[in-house]
Amino acid sequence: MTTGQTSAGPGKAGRPSVLETLRGIPGPIWLVLVGMLVNRLGNFLQIYLVLYLTAKGFSATEAGFALGAYGVGSVAGVLIGGSASDRIGYAWTIVGSMALAGLGTLSLPHLDSLPLVITVAAVIGLLAQMYRPASSALLVERTPESHHVMVFAVYRMAFNLGTTVGPLLGALLISHSYNLIFYLEAGAQLGFAAFALVLARSGGMAKQAEPHADAPSRSYTAVLRDTRYVLFLLALFLNAVVYIQHTSALPLQIKADGHSVAFYSSLLSLNAVMVICLELLFTKYVQHLPGKVAVALGVGLVGVGMNLYAAGPAMAMYVVATVVWTAGEMIGTPTASAWPGKVAPEHLRGRYIAAAAFPMQIGYAVGPVLGVAAWQLSHASVWWLSGLLTVGAVAAALAGMSERRADPGTGTAPAGEKPAGRGGPVAADTP
């Protein structure tokens, strides 16, 4: 099956079912999906770094600095990964990112100097996140546009499986030795690099896009000139500020209402189980919606779910609220994940995808500070603030994801846009 064609047979309006999507995923993309799953299963460093360093004799403050450095490196790594993807190719970016991150992870348990630990943690965070724009760009490049939303749902399922199971595996390893988590994470990173190397060296790799003659820039400034895309980024930022309240304001609210930590953990488990088990089924139907409708609906439900936490202390209401915002997450996220690759010019695809991750990371950093401050002012105010921010996010998504039309004078789309009626850039020679 070539990715340059979309069969008329699958699903309604050419959209595939879950099974049709799985059967139609090319071998190279399975390498990416399996490699990413393996990498997420071994993603222990960020989760257990503070515990490891304090067990090694560093203070909690020193360990916090190291974890903060890892986080700063992670944000920078996404942006650098976007640039690298557009310059050296998607598969080679994954190879370099994962191979170097693996070597850095292997070195960390042998370091005793705090400045070295902080520096290496920052470098590992940078390298370990560079692969993300490249892996998303590969999904866009090597699958038909009609499959993108469903394929990103499959990608998220693999990501969430690894994220859910990984910490449990890490706890088992730590019961024997802390060093095992570093060795296994490094092995997972090097394994992903090996999968990507097979892809990079395969004869069927699509040719990297050359700069367009009329392209004003190959930098992030070109992304920022796409005003509708900037509105989409604003929607992602506002939604991230709201979404992250489930890890910042929510545990405070649960404790204030007299519920246990176990109940909070059960709500997080409910979210994880729903996403893993139901998101593909939701996406089977959501993929038929216009992109802006799917994202606006998803963002809106996340805000409504958070707002419902203001309704009262009953455990049943907490469950209902969690189900509502989890449904929003499942409805909006696959389409939002596919959107950057859909609207990006081919020579800027990596940067567009990386630019979408950046406001979310900023939102995840700002959200807890804003949410806790609002909660301390008034317990209900954080949830009403979430509702207000959600109104802005929905409006930004609807405006930023509006239909993009060609310039009637030239027949081409504005900078950063595709002509109406054309599919996304797809490698026609993909098997």
Task: For residue range 221-252, list pLDDT tens digits in order.
Answer: 889 999 999 999 999 999 999 999 998 889 88
Complete DSSP assignment for 194-237: HHHHHHHHSTTPPPPPPPPTT-S-SSHHHHHT-HHHHHHHHHHH
Q: Residue 177, by phi and psi: left (phi above 0), alpha (psi -120 to 50) or beta? A: beta
Instruction: Identify the pLDDT of residue 80.
Output: 92
Q: What is the pTM of this model?
A: 0.77
Instruction: Identify the pLDDT of residue 215.
Output: 45
Complete DSSP assignment for 401-425: TSPP---TTTSSPPTT---TTPPPP
Instruction: Identify the pLDDT of residue 238.
Output: 97
Mean pLDDT of 162-179: 83
Mean pLDDT of 19-35: 81
| Burial environment of residue 8 by CB neighbours within 10 A (0 to 12, 13 to 18, 19 or more) | exposed
Rounded Cα–Cα distance for residues 73 and 75 (Å):
6
Structure tokens at 166: 């990984």
Confidence of residue 347 (pLDDT cuts 50, 70, 90): confident
Confidence of residue 416 (pLDDT cuts 50, 70, 90): very low
Instruction: Identify the pLDDT of residue 408.
Output: 37
Per-residue pLDDT at 406 exceeds 50 = no
Contact partners, residue 264, CB within 8 Å, separation at least 6: 250, 251, 254
247 and 302 Cβ atoms separated by less than 8 Å:
no
> Three-state DSSP class for 130?
coil
Mean pLDDT of 307-336: 93
Cα 224–chain centre separation: 20
